[in-house]
Amino acid sequence: MTSQEIRELFLKFFESKGHTIVPSAPMVIKNDPTLMFTNAGMNQFKEFFLGNAKPKYKRVVDTQKCLRVSGKHNDLEEVGRDTYHHTMFEMLGNWSFGDYFKREAISWAWELLTEVYKIPKENLYVTVFEGSPEEGVPFDQEAYDIWKERIAEDHILLGNKKDNFWEMGDQGPCGPCSEIHVDIRSEEEKAKVAGRDLVNNDHPQVIEIWNNVFMEFNRKADGSLEKLPAQNVDTGMGFERLCMVLQGKQSNYDTDVFTPLIHKVEEITKTSYTNGIKVTPEEEQINVAIRVIADHIRAVAFAIADGQLPSNNGAGYVIRRILRRAIRYGFTFLGQKEPFIYKLVETLAKQMGSTFHELEKEFLLIVSVIKEEEASFLRTLEQGLLMLDVMIQNTTDKQLSGSKAFELYDTYGFPKDLTALILSERGMTLDEASFEEHLQKQKERSRAAAQVKAGDWVVLRDDEEEEFVGYDTLEAVVRLVKYRKV
């Protein structure tokens, strides 16, 4: 089954159960000061759940473009290193606004996975909320019983508040959730450890694919819970993970969602991506870089298509950082000294443009903005190289200090690994411990300044900068000139 067919089947399945297919909301949020990017399917329906607006349909189904790079959900550092977290991904979801509840949601999820998609039942595990008596939230007996009619009891796990209870914030709608996990290990591996012991354990082949949230309570200002008059269902399934399972792959990047992009990166950079779980450290370094680039181009292209250009603050800065992370990986590990990431936009638009027309509509803008950003940041990196040369010449030590390496990182977005590599070519080392200390201090500073947490919604200050990784070229040059005068 192609990814296109898998997406279609999901939408059509719920349409056959009385749902109306609705479009994805933009990934970039312009009218909500508490959230920069859509990070879950439910965001666009928030006002329905809060009771501030009335939905046109009681049952809807969609695929939602999500971005998880800031606030409550920040997966950025995982992306590329693991095989199943992305910056931008599609979240498939079915919704009940005061209509059906647990029985229908669970039985349809089960029917879709096991009868339509034909995932073997013995590979599935589900989690149910264990309850939290001290907070007055009961064990979700109802969900447990419904699951028990369908799945062996040793495939049902109880989960705590962190994994199995969803709240919008300190107040408002909330409720237990039931997650569905899938075990795609070989029979040999399965014989060694039971799948249930690996659920929610960061195992790359025993992963969460679908979360079903049952909003049945309202948390009042005094912290107590009351039953909502109308109950809601909010579900979210990771589309790329589902494709991995259904296409019999071990990594999201081996599915047809990513292979065209990966092939294009290989072709442009004359490197090769190594499939499989067992790869050498050298191959893995290249793999990570290729995964980062194949992932980040999607986030950046969709953001620009939605009207968010890279810039020096707020949401624009987040996008700039993502793109610069991709450029750095290309520069450091794939030897790319010239802009090349913009060339992937064509591949992406060909592949996803028929589902997300904005990619085709804004094609030229996306290409030109990315190309310009690349050119500018590569110049900055070149300046960093020059700066490092000067530092090396000016030191008699065999070790470059952490503060100097941090200055390069902070001012030029110059990655530590690259600094270490260049130093080693000159027979020098880097004071890594001291570099890490500087980095840590800076993270604490920006964290303290950045945000007040409020569940799924994060209050951002106007001047929020999550992590500072570089000035623009002009500033960099000015700095370099100053440095030389000293």
State the Cα–Cα distance between residues 96 and 235, nearest whole angstrom: 9
Q: Which residue is nearest to ligand ATP (CB)?
A: 238
Question: Shortest Cβ distance from residue 229 to Mg ion (Å)?
Answer: 26
In this complex, which beta carbon is closest to ligand ATP, that of residue 40 or of residue 366? 40
Question: Shortest Cβ distance from residue 253 to Mg ion (Å)?
Answer: 18
Q: Does 125 bind ligand ATP (CB under 6 A)?
A: no
In this complex, which beta carbon is closest to ligand ATP, that of residue 202 or of residue 425? 202
Q: Which stretch binds ligand ATP (CB under 6 A): 13-21, 221-229, 237-245, 297-305?
A: 237-245
Spell out the alpha helix ranges (H) of 100-201. 102-111, 141-148, 161-164, 187-192
State the Cα–Cα distance between residues 297 and 207, nearest whole angstrom: 24
In this complex, which beta carbon is closest to Mg ion, that of residue 208 or of residue 407? 208
Residue 86's binding partner out of Mg ion, ligand ATP, none, with CB under 5 to 8 Å set by partner kind: ligand ATP
Question: Shortest Cβ distance from residue 384 to ligand ATP (Å)?
Answer: 30
Q: Does 346 bind ligand ATP (CB under 6 A)?
A: no
In this complex, which beta carbon is closest to Mg ion, that of residue 70 or of residue 211? 211
In this structure, how many other beta carbons lie within 10 angstroms of the beta carbon of residue 382? 15
Residues 169-208 interacting with Mg ion (rule: CB under 5 A):
208
- Burial class of residue 178 in the structure, from the number of CB atoms within 10 Å of its CB (0-12 exposed, 13-18 middle, 19+ buried): buried
Q: Which stretch binds ligand ATP (CB under 6 A): 45-53, 81-89, 118-126, 433-441?
A: 81-89
In this complex, which beta carbon is closest to Mg ion, that of residue 159 or of residue 310? 159
Q: Does 83 bind Mg ion (CB under 5 A)?
A: no
Contacts of 208 (CB under 8 A, 6+ apart): 179, 180, 181, 200, 238, 241
In this complex, which beta carbon is closest to Mg ion, that of residue 83 or of residue 211? 211
Residue 291: closest CA among 425, 403, 299: 299
In this complex, which beta carbon is closest to Mg ion, that of residue 118 or of residue 162? 162
Q: Are 476 and 380 in contact (CB under 8 A)?
A: yes
Residue 77: closest CA among 471, 337, 467, 406: 467
Residue from 44, 63, 164, 211 in contact with Mg ion (CB under 5 A): 211
Q: Which stretch binds ligand ATP (CB under 6 A): 4-12, 116-124, 236-244, 433-441?
A: 236-244
Element (H, E) at 410: helix 402-412
Record the tokens describing residue 196, joined without a space.
Answer: 């249930």
Q: Does 241 bind ligand ATP (CB under 6 A)?
A: yes
State the Cα–Cα distance between residues 472 and 95, nearest whole angstrom: 44
State the Cα–Cα distance between residues 9 and 266, nearest whole angstrom: 31
List, as one string, the DSSP characters of 66-111.
Answer: EE-EETTEE-GGGBTTBSS--SEEEEEEEEEESS--HHHHHHHHHH
Q: Are 331 and 337 in contact (CB under 8 A)?
A: yes
Which runs of E-coded beta strand occur in 416-456? 429-430, 451-454
Question: Shortest Cβ distance from residue 412 to ligand ATP (Å)?
Answer: 28
Q: Does 91 bind ligand ATP (CB under 6 A)?
A: yes
Binding mask 201-220 for ligand ATP (x = CB under 6 A): -------xxxx---------
In this complex, which beta carbon is closest to ligand ATP, that of residue 123 or of residue 211? 211
Q: Does 127 bind ligand ATP (CB under 6 A)?
A: no
State the Cα–Cα distance between residues 186 and 306, nearest whole angstrom: 41
Record the tokens describing residue 455, joined without a space.
Answer: 């569940």
In this complex, which beta carbon is closest to ligand ATP, that of residue 70 or of residue 383? 70
Q: Does 404 bind ligand ATP (CB under 6 A)?
A: no
Q: Which stretch binds ligand ATP (CB under 6 A): 22-30, 125-133, 235-243, 286-294?
A: 235-243
Contacting residues toward ligand ATP, per CB under 6 A = 40, 68, 75, 85-86, 89, 91, 208-211, 236-238, 240-241
Chain residues binding Mg ion by CB under 5 A are 208, 211
